[in-house]
Amino acid sequence: MNRYDKDMMHNRELIYDAKGQLHKADKKYKKGDKGAKQEMIHDRELIYDAKGEIHRIDEQKHEAHGHEASAHKILKHSRKNRS
């Protein structure tokens, strides 16, 4: 397993953990703990940052192999097929 794959796995684990924390904070907030709102904001930021990092790693991986980024191809394809 190369460095890119290890980094992406680590970021996916961070997302998984942050989603679990976000779910717990949401339950606390719904029960009336207003301090949990700040936790929820922080967890959403962690998720957003980790997803961005995964995207950057994927882009680097594809550029290193001389390929156009696959995410752009898929997005372009899905936009064409919308009715």
Let me know how many helices (H) and strands (E) the chain has, helices first.
Answer: 3, 0
How confident is the model at residue 76, as a pLDDT? 58
CA dihedral (30, 35, 38, 39) positive or negative:
negative
Q: Could you tell me the residue range of the domain that residue 31 belongs to?
A: 3-80
The domain total for the chain is: 1
**Is the model's pLDDT at 39 over the cut of 80?**
yes
Share of the chain above pLDDT 90, in %: 7
Say how many C-beta atoms besides its own lie within 10 A of residue 26's C-beta: 15
How confident is the model at residue 9, as a pLDDT? 86
Question: The whole model's pTM is what?
Answer: 0.61
Average pLDDT, the chain: 80
